[in-house]
C-alpha cells in the first residue's frame, strides 16, 4: 500500500531526479498531466527493490495516480513507461482497460495517452 502523503509528494515532483515539466498547456488552456513511471522518478529508495517489487510499485502508483486525476477532473494525461521488454507497457494496458472513467487510451511504444470522461 502506498502512503497517500508520499504519493502526493512524489506527484509534486519532490523525488524527481531529472526535473521535467509535469504539465503542459495547450492553446485552449487545458492542462495535460504527464506521469513518468520510470521507477527512479517515483520511488526514493528504488535500489532496494527487486524487479517484481518495482513493477508492483509502479502499477500501484499508476492506479492511485489515475484515481487522483479523476477526482480533480483532469481531462487527459500521458503516461511514460519507456521502452524495454514491454512488461510495464502490458501491465499499464491492463490497468487502463479495467479502470472506470477512461473514455479512450492509446498504447504507444514508450508512452500512452489517456482521456477521461
Question: pLDDT digit string (tens) for 33-66?
Answer: 999 999 999 999 999 999 999 999 999 999 999 9
**Which residue segment(s) compose the domain that 69 sits in?**
4-116
CATH number, residue 44: 3.30.1370.110
Question: CB–CB of 46/39 below 8 Å?
Answer: yes
**Beta-bridge partner residues of 25:** 31
Question: pLDDT digit string (tens) for 70-96?
Answer: 999 999 999 999 999 999 999 999 999
- Interacting residues of 73 by C-beta distance below 8 A, sequence separation 6+: 116
Residue 6 confidence (pLDDT) above 70: no
- Interacting residues of 30 by C-beta distance below 8 A, sequence separation 6+: 75, 76
30 or 47, greater pLDDT: 47
Amino acid at each position: 500500500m502506498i502512503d497517500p502523503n508520499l504519493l502526493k509528494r512524489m506527484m509534486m515532483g519532490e523525488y524527481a531526479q531529472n526535473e521535467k515539466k509535469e504539465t503542459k498547456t495547450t492553446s485552449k488552456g487545458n492542462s495535460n498531466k504527464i506521469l513518468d513511471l520510470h521507477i527512479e522518478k517515483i520511488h526514493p529508495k528504488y535500489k532496494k527493490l527487486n524487479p517484481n517489487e518495482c513493477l508492483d510499485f509502479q502499477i500501484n502508483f499508476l492506479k492511485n495516480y489515475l484515481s487522483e486525476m479523476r477526482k480533480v477532473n483532469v481531462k487527459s494525461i500521458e503516461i511514460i513507461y519507456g521502452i524495454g521488454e514491454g512488461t510495464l507497457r502490458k501491465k499499464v494496458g491492463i490497468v487502463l482497460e479495467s479502470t472506470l472513467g477512461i473514455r479512450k487510451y492509446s498504447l504507444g511504444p514508450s508512452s500512452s495517452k489517456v482521456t477521461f470522461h
